[in-house]
Amino acid sequence: MVRLSLPALVLCLILVTAAVQTWVGPSKTRGLYMGLGTLGGVAAGVAVAALISRWIMRDVSAVSACLGVFAGWAVAWFFARRVPRTASS
């Protein structure tokens, strides 16, 4: 069961990321903000996982990183929504 759950999680993340990219639009600046949110979210998720994994004695880095990405997107959206959705050079 564990061997099937990680590929399913990766497939789900690919689909969600594609949907978010479509929602953000073709603007390079918006994409930059969302990309920074992704990187910051992964970093925060892995940092939190390092603390939680020791406490519960299980590796939760994949789940924590995914939750961090969603949190990073939420924070980045506050900045990205102020940029026009149209493509910029």
State in Å, rounded, how far the first CA of the chain is from the last one: 46
pLDDT tens readout for residues 8-67: 878 888 888 888 888 888 888 998 999 999 999 999 999 999 999 889 988 888 888 889
pLDDT tens readout for residues 72-86: 999 999 999 898 877
CA distance 31 to 68: 18
Domain spans, the chain: 28-83
CA distance 22 to 46: 26
Q: What pLDDT is stored for residue 5 in this prediction?
A: 77
More confident of the two residues 13 and 3: 13
Phi-psi region of 58 (alpha: psi -120 to 50; beta: other; left: phi over 0): beta
